[in-house]
Structure 1
Amino acid sequence: MSDQQKRKPTILIVDDNFINLNILLEFLNQKGYKTLIAQDGETAIRRAEIGLPDLILLDIMMAGIDGFETCKRLKKNERTRHIPVIFLTALTDTANQMKGFEVGGVDYITKPFDHVEVLSCIRKQIKIKKQNEELTQLTPSISEDTEARDRFFSIIVHKMSKAFNQLHDLSSFFAEAITELHMDEIDVFDRHLFGSARNTINNLENILNWGRVQNKDFKVKSEKLDMYGLCMAVLYRFQKLAQSKNISISHDIKPQTNVLSDSDMTYRVLCNLLFLVIEHAVSQTITISIEHADQKVYVYIKDTSLSPDLLNNLGDSKDILETIDSNESIPISFTLALCQKMLEKNNGSLLIKQTDEKNASICMVLPAGE
């Protein structure tokens, strides 16, 4: 429960009749409300500005400025205009009731007071005020979320349309020229076409996954997961891409190496990290190894030319969208930010460790599943 929900509502009672004032004061204190009092309009305005009560019970017929004028001034004041005003009146004619609503009142209670009516009216108006405050706080967030969502899908359409158009052009050229190409040229073209298609699919998956993990309702399904089986699936997926670049991949992962994480998210992270290392490899051999420490599993992929500084400049969600939108291709920082976000949701982390001047290892860290 929030502090605002625990806080007792404060009610300002304004009446120049001490007997009426005292009746309401004792009754509301018994019901657990905090109270402020004033016996004229000028004092009521000052008390409202300083105390900012949740509700004002305002008598109409008072010496000096009456309740109608007091309410008008309260509603013109930026600090007090949001405070609901319930009029207290012995006037039962419709004209006065309408005037009360016109100057900003939300309800009225007739004298002599019926305690049930008073309590019901107060509770209703305080509830409405709280709901209005919550809605006011939520509206900017809804607006920002909607704007970010619209921009996100706009980026998807733009990036993917361009990527698929390039694939279409490449495929069309290949189909037209295939009869004039030698076998070695066809092989090179085939590998290039496959790499472009794999890159496009990978980017589409990443952009969609970024949208999912930004959703506040996104749920992680943690389970005991065998990293050996997962790594074998990832290696199979990227075998052809690695071969097209004359890269071999070795590993020392043993069966029953367990982590506690979401299987789909862990698979996506490992796919992304291996893809990055293949694209930025510094040798013809990539090695995947595992270490255990402090009830965590460290999965290292090496060697790569990626710098540890990349992780220090990822920025927030808006920065990431800006980065995607302003680059011709999907930037490395976006892929790393997605991996980092997914690992964090699984109580893990992402590291890039420099091994020497040119080489580095990229590492995903997850809770051990033993």
Structure 2
Amino acid sequence: MKATEAQTDLAPKILIVDDSPLNTKLLKFILDEAGYETVVASNGEDGIAALEAEQPDLLLLDVMMPDIDGFEVCRRIKKDPANENLPIIFITALDQTEDIVKGFELGGVDYVTKPFNKKVLLVRIKNHIDLLTSRRKVERQATDLAAANRLKSRMFSIIGHDLRSPLGSLKLSLDFINRGLIDPRKEDFKDTVIKLLQSTDEGLNLLENLLGWAKSQSDALIVTPEEIELRDAIESIARLVKLNLDNKKIQLDLNIPEDVLVMADLHMLNAIVRNLISNATKFTPTGGAITVTAAEDGDEVVIKVADTGVGIPPENLDKIFNPNVQTTTEGTNKEGGSGLGLLLVQDFVQKNNGKISVESTVGEGTTFAFTLPKA
């Protein structure tokens, strides 16, 4: 009856607290043979200290000990809410009914009298370890379910609010064209087409972020690192966002050496840079500038995206990377935003073994800096 039959990875750890060297030696031999990891303490005070240091999965506790007895040890242990679910099995020569009842009333889950039967003891230990394992599994599932529900609620919120805006604008403009309220022959028709393209791009960008973030949060995203020429990758992204930059007459400068190589997932790198440039574009007024730089620093490459935009108030800097805080801020041209893009950036940077930080001055601009491993 091996402990590993009830556990998956590490062997369960059992703390033995008994003042008799003969008893502790026997129990340790039996439990080690059964595949458990054991820790031994020879008195109550040492047992409490060992509990805090070792964090066992189960406690075998003698009652009659010289300093403080096992009942008092149990009372002190159970006083701490962190030990509420710790299984404590009393193993003692005391076999009176009042002693057995007292042990259960203090929080013990079982009571074994000496001399004990080896097979019976092992069965009882295994049952309580299995119960503890099942409890922990249920708790993990509850935590995962709560996280999934938060993700679902966040997605519905974004779909219901942020995605509705570009789609609504797109539908309205197309409806005006269909009803003849916008004449394709007039000069301002080009402006309408540009707005249609912007609404389409905004909706598509939000949808891509939404899907990417959902995959990442559900651990369905696979990271595939490869050697990437950073300048070529960022130049490719710059071409994709050129329309929005041109519309606001924002100058984009790329100061990236040709020989800089990074080790990262290309899809994730594209999403990181695209979101940072799009975010900078959104909060930079017409005629502003965005600069992307890269420099090697030891085993890393530091990439910075700096803008001359409106800046971020100091009280909001800690919020932009906090998934539990939903921030929605309009851009300088009333562009919508869910804050999801920066969360995705942070997540993708971390998944590629990098770090991200932000510095900002209201009225002067913002700089996002992130690192990636050097190839």
In the superposition, relative to structure 1, how do residues 37 and 358 fare at CA in structure 2: closer, same or farther (>3 Å)? closer
Q: Match of 1:37, as an amino acid?
A: D
Q: Match of 2:357, as an amino acid?
A: L
1:55 CA displacement? 2.0
Secondary structure of the residue aligned to 1:221 is coil
Contact 2:308 2:364 in 1 (8 A): yes
In the superposition, relative to structure 1, how do residues 112 and 277 fare at CA in structure 2: closer, same or farther (>3 Å)? closer
In the superposition, relative to structure 1, how do residues 344 and 51 fare at CA in structure 2: closer, same or farther (>3 Å)? closer
Contact 1:314 1:337 in 2 (8 A): yes
1:226 CA displacement? 1.1
In the superposition, relative to structure 1, how do residues 126 and 133 fare at CA in structure 2: closer, same or farther (>3 Å)? same
* Structure number with larger C-alpha Rg: 1
Q: Match of 1:169, as an amino acid?
A: L
Secondary structure of the residue aligned to 1:9 is strand
1:251 CA displacement? 2.9
Given the alignment, which residue of 136, 147, 150 partners 1:148? 150
Partner of 1:54: 88
Q: Kindly report structure 1 stretches of 4+ aligned residues shifted beyond 4 Å.
A: 4-7, 21-26, 32-35, 43-47, 61-64, 111-114, 216-219
Partner of 1:92: none
Q: Which runs of 5+ in 2 are unaligned?
A: 1-9, 32-37, 41-59, 79-86
Partner of 2:350: 344
Contact 2:112 2:121 in 1 (8 A): no
TM-score, length-scaled by structure 1: 0.69
Contact 1:311 1:336 in 2 (8 A): no
Given the alignment, which residue of 274, 278, 292 partners 1:275? 278
Matches within 5 A, 1:284-303: 284=287, 286-295=289-298, 296-303=301-308
Mapped to 1, the partners of 2:158 and 2:360 lie a distance apart of 32
Residue deviations 1:28-83, cap 9 Å, x none?
A: 254356553347xxx87555424666323588x9446374xx1xx655x4x61xx4
Mapped to 1, the partners of 2:321 and 2:304 lie a distance apart of 24
Partner of 1:211: 214
Q: Is structure 2 residue 44 aligned with structure 1 residue 37?
A: no
Secondary structure of the residue aligned to 2:228 is strand
Q: Which runs of 5+ in 1 are unaligned?
A: 14-20, 89-110
Partner of 1:121: 123
Contact 1:174 1:189 in 2 (8 A): no
1:174 CA displacement? 2.2
Partner of 2:34: none
Q: Is structure 2 residue 12 aligned with structure 1 residue 28?
A: no
Mapped to 1, the partners of 2:149 and 2:215 lie a distance apart of 16
Q: Match of 2:90, as an amino acid?
A: I
1:181 CA displacement? 4.8
Secondary structure of the residue aligned to 1:290 is strand
Q: How many residues align?
A: 319
Partner of 1:93: none
1:194 CA displacement? 0.8
Matches within 5 A, 1:79-118: 80=107, 83-85=108-110, 114-115=117-118, 117-118=119-120
- Range 187-196 or range 135-144, more displaced: 135-144
1:345 CA displacement? 3.1
Partner of 1:97: none
Q: Is structure 2 residue 318 aligned with structure 1 residue 318?
A: no
Which has more helix, going by share of residues? 1
1:283 CA displacement? 5.1
- Range 229-238 or range 170-179, more displaced: 170-179
Contact 1:54 1:84 in 2 (8 A): yes
In the superposition, relative to structure 1, how do residues 251 and 38 fare at CA in structure 2: closer, same or farther (>3 Å)? closer
